[in-house]
Amino acid sequence: MKQILIILIGLLIYADGKSCECRDEERDISVTKALLYSDIIFCGEFISGDTSNPFVEAYKFKILELFKGKYSKNIIFGCYYVGCSIIPHDKGLWIVYAEQVNDSTISISKCSPSIPIIQAERLVSSSFFDNYIKTHGTLIIDKTQILENRTKGLSLWFAELEKLRQYKKAHNIVSKKVDLKIILILCLILMNITLISIVIITMRK
């Protein structure tokens, strides 16, 4: 019975997902729309995901900094709510633009500009072949280009975070104080390691 229920849920999610079409538009436009229409926007840490009960508690975030909306606790739950809903799984920091189901539950649309820091390179415009170089007629991965895209993506991710802080300041949004210094320092260290790696790879060529 449980297996049948899981299959039915999977088919429902698949059918709803097929009916959801997201516009191909510039990120600035997507973010501008999200600022207008999202119920809640925050920087948070992904804690866990569980697809066994996606319509109630599919995942959890710890809210570190609020930019729009309200919440009752630092831990907020997420669920599969409508056809375009996604169930995130990437751990680490996220910038989240979401619909608020209630004061403790959110739903994230796959059409929203929500993005984890681990996928920051998605913010860099590039084609598939930009990450490859041709050597003796064979395509090989260009590690230097990938690291450069990763570094640029991290810069753009933090730039968007700063824009959201300016938005919060302009709209006088009160956020619960959470110390982000340690997390930001770790991210800056990661960026420096990435830059050093680029230099080492370039020197070895």
pLDDT in tens, 26-80: 888 999 999 999 999 999 999 987 766 666 678 999 999 999 998 888 899 988 8
* pLDDT given at position 102: 84
Whether residue 127 is found in the same domain as residue 146: yes
* pLDDT given at position 21: 78
Distance (Å) of CA 6 to CA 169, 178, 198: 44, 38, 45
| From 25-34, 109-118, 141-150, 164-173, the region with the lowest mean pLDDT | 141-150
Whether residue 94 is found in the same domain as residue 7: yes
Highest mean pLDDT pick, 14-23, 132-141, 158-167: 158-167
Whether residue 112 is found in the same domain as residue 29: yes
Whether residue 123 is found in the same domain as residue 25: no
Whether residue 96 is found in the same domain as residue 138: no
Q: Total domain count for the chain?
A: 2
Cα–Cα distance measured from residue 179 to residue 182, given in angstroms and rounded to the nearest whole number:
8
Whether residue 8 is found in the same domain as residue 99: yes
Long-range contacts of 139-143 (CB under 8 A, 24+ apart): 143/201
Domain that holds residue 80: 2-117
The pTM of this model reads: 0.70
